Amino acid sequence: MSQSVNLEEDTQALVRHFYALQRERVEAYHLFEEGFQAYLRNGPDYDFPRYRQLVHEITLAFSGISREILQIKEQLEGSHGRPDLAQHLGRIQEKEKEKLQLTAQIQLARQNVQDHPEVEAHAQEVRELKHKLIQTIEAISETLQDFKYDSEETG
């Protein structure tokens, strides 16, 4: 009996660690957006080396977060016997990767709009990418809800 209680506590510790990592990811997105807005304010004489450094730092942060989440996923799949939770984390990781790619595409498109406001196609591209981003964020939110619900169930 005590073994299953310990495993359950360990599983809850993994769940809490995942949520902490997810909060770090949200904070990294805020920093990414703030840095990009500062970059845009310098247009048309952009400080690309500084922006490139920001992208590098954000990429490292996201990579580290993803690595830790994949470790949690492996533990949930393996010794913790919670493939349901591991599956949710896998879906979240896929959608987070998509979200990061869309965020970068939106930033490029926003710069194009700023540099060439007369080209309607750039503004249309921003709108389409934002729509895709909203759908991706909604998918992440739904999966997070499923994860929360399933993680609160006791085995």
Q: Residue 54 sits in a domain of what CATH number?
A: 1.20.1420
Domain that holds residue 126: 2-152
Residues 24-77 pLDDT 10s: 999 999 999 999 999 999 988 999 999 999 999 999 999 999 999 999 999 999
CA–CA distance, 89 with 93 (Å, rounded to integer): 6
User: Residue 6 above 70 pLDDT?
Assistant: no
Give alpha helix (H) positions in 42-82.
48-77
Residue 29, classified by CB atoms within 10 Å of its CB into exposed (0-12), middle (13-18) or buried (19+), is middle
Tell me how many domains the chain contains: 1
Across the chain, mean pLDDT equals 93
Q: What is the pLDDT of residues 78-91, one digit of tens each?
A: 988 999 999 999 99
155 pLDDT above the threshold of 90: no
